[in-house]
Amino acid sequence: MISENPLAELKKECEALLKEATGKLQMAELLKQFAFEKPPVWEFGQLATSACFELAKHVGEKPLVLAQQLVKAMDKAKFQLVKEVSAAGGGYINFHANFEKLSALTLESVRQLDSEYGLVKTEKPKKIIVEHTSVNPLHPIHIGQARNPMLGDAVARMLSARGHKVFRHYYVDDVGRQTAVIAYGYKKLGKPKPAEKPDHFIGKIYTVTSCLVEINRLKKELERAKMVSAEEETAKINRELDDWVSVAFELKQKYPDLFEKLLEKINEDPDPEKSIGELNRAYEAGEEEAKRLIREVSQLCLEGFKETLSRAGVFYDSWDWESDLVWSGLVAEVLQKLRQTPFVTAFGGVLEFEAGKVVEFLDLREKLGLRKDYEVPSLTLVRADGTTLYTTRDIAYTIWKFSKAEKCINVIGMEQSLAQLQLKIALYALGYRDYAENLVHFAYNLVTLPGYKMSSRRGRYITLDEVLDEAIRRAYEEVSKRSPQLSEDEKRKVAEIVGVGAVRYALVEVDPAKPVEFNWDRVINFEKNSAPYIQYTHARACSILRKAARKPERPDYGLLKEKLEQELVFTLAEFPETFIEAVETLKPNLLADYANALADKFNTFYNAFPVIKAEPPELSDARLALVDAVRIVLRNALNLIGITAPERM
């Protein structure tokens, strides 16, 4: 017998025993469901229920007395996966597993189901779009942004493994002033061909151009303020200008040739700000020259993104251009529909969406989890110059996505929580209630680097490329020290797998709601809680199986009597339910935590007991089967979060 979820089989038996016992005592109607938890101490049993505390409220009896009565009423002849049951504490019922049978069920299930073990399929598969990364095509993806693709890809992998039809989308934010700035600078330079990785090249042009344009704008503002003797405003502009001049000094030191060329070209333009505004409006209007220019720059940057992300094992099914939505008329159509609602007002060409009104009118406060005193700010839909804002376009994009899927998950940082809330409220206002209720904002916190302050405007950021390079370099040093017998080619291949895995794990293993402090001592650590540590554990299991040079043919699972062995078996049995919880709560970190805990238990077991030389041979075979099962589950858990499990390290 095998099972896709051995722990669920144990729980079913416990529930059946409880139902039969409550039936005998005429209490079956009082409790329809039973919840189980792990007792705090292993010796108390493997599962426990507090059902008697609930029953006690109905029958006026002490929970402990009820627990004793129920245990006594259980038919021990029907025990299969349960070895014994006991009343404990103030009224808990503890279930002790029959490990001879649970070990056989779990280990045989793992080894026969192999790559499918633990990946329990949903009964209601859906078409789901996971939109993630969506970094603006302005500069290379940096470590502060890298958590998004790692979390997004892990979520997509998990949902797919659960049986959903998952589509990975990248939203190319190519409409707006920022892209007009980079295109302006690129054109001023004569549209040069990149002499380096294209996104790095574009990033330098953007940083220098935006700095010079800002200085130019502030100088003009300063002249105007002085003319009308606005002292307070003059002082404020001077402070801003000083700040930008210091940025310019820093950029001139870093990129002297580029800086001088752009300075010369931008100084030839009497009004750079006006030129950028015109380019921005022309692009949104779909004028051919603007389209060719901005698309060319954006494509260059995206080429670099694709190279970086493919290195990290992140790929997409669709690249959705924001501009396509605008040119298709979808944004205009959505604006027209919003205008027809009572929630949009116009002031001097500026269009405002009163999201707070919608909340009250449709009574959405509880549904959206909003406090009674929280006032949702209004959302500007259209500026005075006629251009739309990001969230306006995002409403149209979301409606388009729902034409292709039943559920949409937006992997976007916590700082976008208000925009995502306003987006959802706009869907309600437009009558798309079902869309709103199936739109998920997967929010995550920031990445910080101890002792380093990133600043995009200063061109001061650590790119994901640099982080991957450094991780692979450090991994190579460790692999060379630990496995000098590997060939140079093998060392390089393993270092690539370990380095990339280390970065992915570091960005996924922390709860999404908490910030990540990226620290090299933790990222590349072969001794505890890191991808290299778990990968090394997997490679160790593979090494044991290679050295054994045989398949376990006569395992006697009843010989796995040691506490460590039984804890390992139970942990393996827990994997399917851990997987289900991780998917349903969208928490990839649960799988990272699980893999780390399993690695810890396995390493303790490996250091305590012989495997290949264990006697009798039936025990050696049982332990080999246990090692094989650990190998499979570690690999499956790592694969779900996008990490490769190498067989040699």
Residue whose token pair is 């709560």: 585
Which amino acid, 101? K
Which tokens is 450 given? Answer: 């101890």
pLDDT computed for residue 457 by the predictor: 66
608-613, Cβ contacts within 8 angstroms, sequence gap of 24 or more: 608/562, 608/564, 609/562, 609/564, 609/565, 611/544, 611/548, 612/544, 612/547, 612/548
Cα dihedral sign, 102-105-108-114: negative
Interatomic CA distance for residues 619 and 630, integer angstroms? 16
- Geometric angle at alpha carbon 350, from 210 and 416, rounded to 5°: 60
Q: 95-123: buried (b, 16+ CB within 10 Å) or exposed (e) per residue?
A: bbbbbbbbbbbbbbbbbebeeebbbbeee
Q: Which residue bears the tokens 């910080």?
A: 448
pLDDT of residue 523: 83
Taking every pair of C-alpha atoms in the chain, what is the biggest distance, in angstroms? Answer: 97
Q: What is the Cα–Cα distance from 468 to 493, expressed in whole angstroms?
A: 14
Q: What are phi and psi of 333, to 5 degrees?
A: -65, -45
Point out the residues of the chain with pLDDT beneath 70.
457
We find that the CATH architecture of domain 6-97 is 2-Layer Sandwich (3.30)
Structure tokens at 171: 């939203």
CB 642 within 8 A of CB 503: no
The domain 464-640: what is its CATH number? 1.10.730.10
* CA–CA dist 59, 146 (Å, integer): 56
- b/e 556-570 (16+ beta carbons within 10 angstroms → b): bbebbeeebbbebbb
Right CATH number for 127-175+320-448 from 3.40.50.300, 3.40.50.620, 2.60.120.260, 3.10.20.880?
A: 3.40.50.620
**Burial profile 179-211: b = 16 or more Cβ within 10 angstroms, e = fewer:** bbbbbbbbbbeeeeebeebbbbbbbbbbbbbbb
Domain spans of the chain? Answer: 6-97, 127-175+320-448, 177-303, 464-640
Three-state SS letters, 286-336 = CCHHHHHHHHHHHHHHHHHHHHHHHHCCCCCCEEEEHHHHHHHCHHHHHHH
The sheet carrying 165-172 orders its strands as 318-321, 165-172, 127-131, 407-413, 439-444
The tokens describing 148, both together, are: 């998004």
pLDDT at position 449: 83
Q: Which of 92, 110, 85 is nearest to 10 (CA)?
A: 85
Helices and strands, counts by H and E, the chain: 24, 13
Residue written as tokens 């979808």? 330
Q: What is the 3-state secondary structure (H, E, C) of 192-207?
A: CCCCCCHHHHHHHHHH
